[in-house]
Structure 1
């Protein structure tokens, strides 16, 4: 993973990274949450993604993190590296906009 403490991880970083990522900075920064807020939410079990405490380290599973971000990872035989928008975004029906200069249809 190429993300540092100062940078926000990219979707590619998350897709190509390990199955879990640190709560801080990776998961929190991906969600736009600061360190203290992330730790507070995790401590109250209110972080938007499951958090696993491993001794003093807190990690977040990558797949649920991607799903919260609206990315459905391809975890099939090809492994990570491909993604599609999550269902919540793909089930929306596009709205057809009529040009103002187009005369209305008559039946």
Structure 2
């Protein structure tokens, strides 16, 4: 039971992380200091897309699911399991990534304009 809760918590935090990566830059329009946290999150997202580095949240969820006696995440990871083919078709992955990049860049441009 405890491992299952850890796995579910990791999944929820992962979704929150991805949501913050997409739109968190807009929070900096109101709370300027949050831009530093968002820069770190956006950098991690970019690093994971460019290099394929495994996210610690994915590793934690997979580990906890296996410890709970369930099937772990597929080798393709969190995004492929929960998002690609579920929220949008797999062939639109690059378009979805571009959309997130545009959101982040727009939020940063707005942040800079609002600070001037």
When the two structures are superposed, what TM-score results if normalisation uses the length of structure 1?
0.25
Relative to its length, the structure with more helix (as a share) is 2
When the two structures are superposed, what TM-score results if normalisation uses the length of structure 2?
0.24
Relative to its length, the structure with more strand (as a share) is 1
